[in-house]
Structure 1
């Protein structure tokens, strides 16, 4: 059985350059920041939980800092190594070690974020449990990502951020050079729209874009 906790502690400790993975580097990081910022603005979000926050590629992005002061933010991750790193990097913001598969979220939030996380719940039962707990904590809306269908090639999404293409080119070159030097996590493809419809029929699920090999979905409550 794949041990997510052990794997990610190793990745963040021994391979910080790749950290949370390609979905949190280069143009994908800019895309996620722009997407999150848009939801925060349009939905008047005040409280955010970031489940599987990783190394927080979007928190300092100008698109986000222009509309969110971080006071209502809680970052959760099962890897103690990255939680401690984030506490040092983002003084005054809240981070905690947390495993979604062993505990439900403690309260509801305006926005639940879970990007680049569900794809690594490689057992169907774990995927469904995690998804159900995310939905239970969603007061107004959620942003999740997964591979609804396997993607042959990663997608570079369109972004507005200046310099994004150059950063992506630099990251892609580094990734090619180091491709065999770091451990990779297994992934799963799931029809998450049908799953959410079964778990929580009252929500609306809308695909809002693609990044890397994943589809991003916005989940909203009436």
Structure 2
């Protein structure tokens, strides 16, 4: 009988935890080096993304900034749930490819948008966000893309552990809330979110399908060969 999902969860999180923590931190640091370099010094002319009726009906709410920042916890979960070094490296490569695609957009097609004036006086995290993140590098929204990419990986790992349905629902709702927070904090417009959905879902689905294929191939190679008498 397979181990309970709680035991599997602990085993996965505790395996190579120091490497997972260091790797995730280093990965985010390197990404933001390129992100802010392209944000402050775009190579090509910057396109202003138009708003839509969706942007106009979603009201600004400073409280959503907490959910917005929770992305950095959420995107660290797929790496933390990897059961071994090979899975961790495979996840890292897929995350690198998705982020490279997003940075390529920021290089070849830099964008911005008319960010409305908002009041962050009641939310210190919002003032920090406003001070470091200018309205640029918007299309696609990497916040949305990475949230969906992480959701696809988390769903895959939860299915392998046979985790209960409430964990799947919690992960999905968290992902949706992160996506909505990009609109509610006025950090993105709908076109950015839509492009982020396309990038994150396609990258996440391809990564999960690839890792399933890899694991199935390893199982076939390790399966004993029956000898006919």
Common fold: TM-score over 0.5: no
Whose helix fraction is larger, Structure 1's or Structure 2's?
Answer: 2
Structure 2 length-normalised TM: 0.29
Point out the structure with max Rg over C-alpha. Answer: 2
- Which has the bigger relative contact order, CA under 8 A and spacing at least 6? 2
Whose strand fraction is larger, Structure 1's or Structure 2's?
Answer: 1
